[in-house]
Amino acid sequence: MLTSSARFETASGSKYLQQLCKHFAHKIEVEFDAHQGRAVLGPGPMEISADETGLSVRVSGEDVRSIIEARYIVDKHLVTFAFRDGFSGFAWKMDEAA
């Protein structure tokens, strides 16, 4: 399984985490609280966490195509939710293989 992660520095990380998870919960399986969440995206699972300084996301997928699709899903929604903070997309990186 491949993973990719990113971080957005913002004081509103918890707000965006909850907003994103509530939105996804209308269509997919989601678990979340104010500081962490998990969602079963079509391409693979997403883990998200928030602290006082930002929002961190990790997506997983079977192949590069799945990773790209998951990244797009997360970015597309957060661009809508976090535009006031200047969010225009994560600077994603591929994680090291375990």
Q: What digits encode the pLDDT tens for the residues 47-97?
A: 999 999 999 999 999 999 999 999 999 999 999 999 999 999 999 999 987
Tell me: pLDDT of 28 over 60: yes
pTM for this predicted structure: 0.93
How is residue 85 annotated by DSSP? G
pLDDT at 98 over 90: no
Give start and end residues of each alpha helix (H) in the chain: 13-24, 64-81
> How confident is the model at residue 1, as a pLDDT?
92
Would you state the pLDDT for residue 75? Answer: 97
Instruction: Supply the CATH classification number for the domain 2-84.
Output: 3.30.310.50
